[in-house]
Amino acid sequence: MAIDVDEQQRYFHLTAGESSYVFQVIEEGYLAHWYWGPAIRPVGQVDRREMLIPRPFAPSVVPDHEWLSMDTLPQEFPGWGRGDYREPALRVRDSKGNRIVDLRFAGYEVMQGWPGPEGLPHLIAPSDGECQTLAVRLNDPVIRLDAILYYSVAHNLNAVIRWVRLENRGSDRVTLERALSASVDLPYGAWQFVQLTGHWGRERHVESGLLRGGVHRVESVRGTSSHQAQPFLAIAEEGVSETFGAVRAMNLVYSGNFLAIAQGDSYGGVRLGIGIHDDTFEWVLEPGEFFETPQAVLVYADHGLQQMSHVFHELYRKSLGSHGWRGRNRPIVLNSWEAMYFRVNHQDVVQLAKVAADVGIEVVVIDDGWFGDRRDDRRSLGDWVSNPEKFPRGIKGVADDLHALGLKCGLWVEPEMVSRESRLYQEHPEWCLGIPDRSLSEGRHQLVLDLSNPQVVDWMVEWLGRLIEETGIDYVKWDMNRHLSEVGSPVWPPSRQGEVYHRYVLGLYRVLEALTGRYPEVLFEGCSGGGGRFDPGMLYYTPQIWTSDNSDAIDRLAIQYGTSLLYPVETMTAHVSAVPNHQVGRVTPLSTRGWVAFSANLGYELDLRKLSRQELDEIRQQIRFYRQMRDLVQHGTFYRLASPWRDNSAGWMFVASGAQEALVIWINQWAEVSGPIRWLRLRGLDPTQDYRVVDVTQFDFGRELGIWGGDRLMGQGLAWRFDRDFQAKAWYLRTREFHEGERQ
Ligand code: DGJ
């Protein structure tokens, strides 16, 4: 059983793979958190005297129970104002202006499957395991607010999925000031945080450090999850590495403002919390109304970051995705942006597509510049009609020509935005987010459409649906190129202006839900100036995301490495681009650019017409080889072996077919004169098996190097001496038993 309940003791024991999560209803109906860690059997019970002792200055809700203080009680969903001085999960304002919320147990239910919050992306119960959900109802009898805490688990996955439904069952208004999705109190320990931070062109770098007293926050108030932060925070045993240390991680299935906190308390414990950011959030609950939070995914791993990643990867591969692309192989794309920028036109796109088809590319994506008078980024967003001079036969004409070449056709859009210089803005200036009497800030010369306005949502679904149907496109790249400011909406009364940030996200999800539901065969790629909105919420609708606007192969090592902490590689689109690189001017070998893009969802973004015959042959070879390896890369188990921050290189490998085969990729950063022979120790192999090792650096099954035991490959590794900057090396390994013809 994934969920065990001891009725008498009101004791809840969740088994999530190799982890357990335990809490109990204690005196006065409070919900006490007892345990989240390696799996334990549901026998015996925690003695609460081990967990609770009276502390000076800690007020007690019940006079005779000095030990029962909200200030020290480890809780599941802490409220506010009853003597808990730590970060609350819930804070409200009642109709009399008071902020106290005091939740007590009011019942529970165990159900099969995984329900999800309404209107929000959510994880779908995998079909291969026993999936259950526990719903615990809490109630504040004074303000008559109910909180239903949901906990979904599968018996074979170390993840607990939490979210909360808040119901106003009284006769007065209650305003939510903070409503996190999950909160957990961990006991005394030496904790280290792990997070992903960055900025445009440098997304999701791994950062880690010792957690001290006070509140450690990871957050975004930019309107999106952002380039700067990731809705993720892990707390780990000191010294955590890929293979060592207990890790407790949280990731929010949400694309807007978020807050993740780790608060070191006075007695060495830590309170974790994650949810919608309360600085930009308020929600009015009139009598009878409810609010549902996004889902938070809580992962426990006993053996370091690698295991944590494997749990996230498995969960997201199986359970994240609303439409037909979950689990399917992703195509090889050529994108026009760095090849042509705004100068796309029918003739050039078709010329480029002919070369693309010849080298084996599968989809050509026409990026920005195809509509209205879009010759630069100052105009035309909102006017989603193709430019007749650039595309005399419209997008349908170019899509037909691409289809005739055996290619699929993709198209870039940026639906959430409007340029001042556009027909749409002239007709509907009131459709922008804004605040009366304040001027509107521009970002990339554009304003943000008000997706909290249902009329704007309907308009967007209508024009995008029409575009897809009239043109016959197969792929949509959905971009979003600025963060939000002056966030207010004329369609909501003053009392509900605090809801607009979240309503914007709900509106976005409504559009994406409608389109991905209606056109399940169309593949949507997410983008926000690269990876500015790379989160599980977007991945639910756009199963792959342009990882970064920085296409330099060497910078991409760190970006892709960091992203892989949470997301499987097929969620990352990665393109081979021209040299010198357009962002950093670096010149790297074509094979290295190939191997970096090969390590994710391979694509190209350069003018193939300008390449030599030899370079085209090399690309043809890269693509041919990727097709042979696509299953292994896109569905294999991913291991990070060398870190770009520590090892002057990045190394990783993909293992599949029950450890019968593997692909190892290793890319150097800086060469050293007469440098060392370096060893890359492999992981995930079968120590009892012998592997044929083939050097595939040239994207073919070039040279068989010999047969080595899995034990030796993992104990000692593969050796190489890089003697040039930015060199790449790759090996393919397979056991003797693995079917010879399988990949060749
Ligand atoms: C930002 C994206 O990240 C780029 O790939 C490209 O689509 C441009 N926008 C187009 O304006």
Locate 542 and state its tokens. 């756009």
Question: Hey, what's the torsion of the CAs at 149, 150, 151, 152, to 10 degrees?
Answer: 180
- Cα distances from 564 to residues 108, 209, 347, 365, 660, in angstroms, run 37, 19, 38, 25, 23
Contact 158, 549 (CB under 8 A): no
Locate 481 and state its tokens. 């190129």
Residues contacting residue 457 through CB under 8 Å, at least 6 positions apart? 451, 507, 510, 511
What distance in Å separates the CA atoms of residue 194 and residue 299, rounded to the nearest whole number?
A: 13
* Residue having the nearest C-alpha atom to atom 6 of ligand 1: 337
**Mean pLDDT of successive 10-residue segments in the chain (744 residues)?**
91 96 95 96 76 87 86 96 97 97 98 97 88 97 98 95 98 98 92 97 97 94 98 96 98 98 92 98 98 98 98 96 87 98 98 98 98 98 98 98 98 98 98 97 98 98 98 98 98 98 98 97 98 98 98 98 98 98 98 98 98 98 98 97 97 96 98 94 98 97 94 98 97 86 61
3-319 and 640-735: identical CATH topology: no
User: Which pLDDT does position 128 carry in this prediction?
Assistant: 72
Q: How far is the CA of 322 from the centre of ligand 1 (A)?
A: 25
User: Which pLDDT does position 741 carry in this prediction?
Assistant: 57
Contact 100, 90 (CB under 8 A): no
What distance in Å separates the CA atoms of residue 36 and residue 740, rounded to the nearest whole number?
A: 45
Sign of torsion over alpha carbons 105, 111, 113, 118? negative
According to DSSP H, which parts of 39-174 are helical?
48-51
Q: How far is the CA of 479 from the centre of ligand 1 (A)?
A: 7
Residues contacting residue 161 through CB under 8 Å, at least 6 positions apart? 114, 123, 150, 151, 152, 153, 295, 296, 297, 298
What distance in Å separates the CA atoms of residue 227 and residue 202, rounded to the nearest whole number?
A: 8
User: Which pLDDT does position 190 carry in this prediction?
Assistant: 85
Q: Which fold has domain 3-319?
A: Beta-galactosidase; Chain A, domain 5 (2.70.98)
Of 371, 380, 479, the residue with max ligand 1 atoms within 8 A of its CB, to mutate for a pocket test, comes to: 479
Q: What is the CATH number of domain 640-735?
A: 2.60.40.1180
User: CB 703: neighbour CB atoms within 10 A?
Assistant: 11
Q: How far is the CA of 549 from the centre of ligand 1 (A)?
A: 7
Q: What is the total residue count of the chain?
A: 744
What single DSSP character describes residue 295? P
Q: Which residues does ligand 1 sit against, CB inside 6 Å? A: 337, 367-368, 412, 479, 481, 527, 529-530, 546, 549
What distance in Å separates the CA atoms of residue 402 and residue 399, rounded to the nearest whole number?
A: 5
User: Which pLDDT does position 248 carry in this prediction?
Assistant: 98
Tell me what percent of the chain is helix, strand and coil, each rounded to the nearest 5.
25, 35, 45
Query: What are the structural domain ranges in the chain?
Result: 3-319, 640-735
> What residues act catalytically?
479, 549
Q: How far is the CA of 480 from the centre of ligand 1 (A)?
A: 8
User: Which pLDDT does position 744 carry in this prediction?
Assistant: 59
Of 333, 412, 476, 605, the residue with max ligand 1 atoms within 8 A of its CB, to mutate for a pocket test, comes to: 412
User: Which pLDDT does position 64 carry in this prediction?
Assistant: 81
The predicted model scores a pTM of 0.98
* Residue having the nearest C-alpha atom to atom 10 of ligand 1: 368
What distance in Å separates the CA atoms of residue 306 and residue 641, rounded to the nearest whole number?
A: 10
User: Which pLDDT does position 742 carry in this prediction?
Assistant: 60
Ligand 1 atom closest to Cα of 337?
A: 6
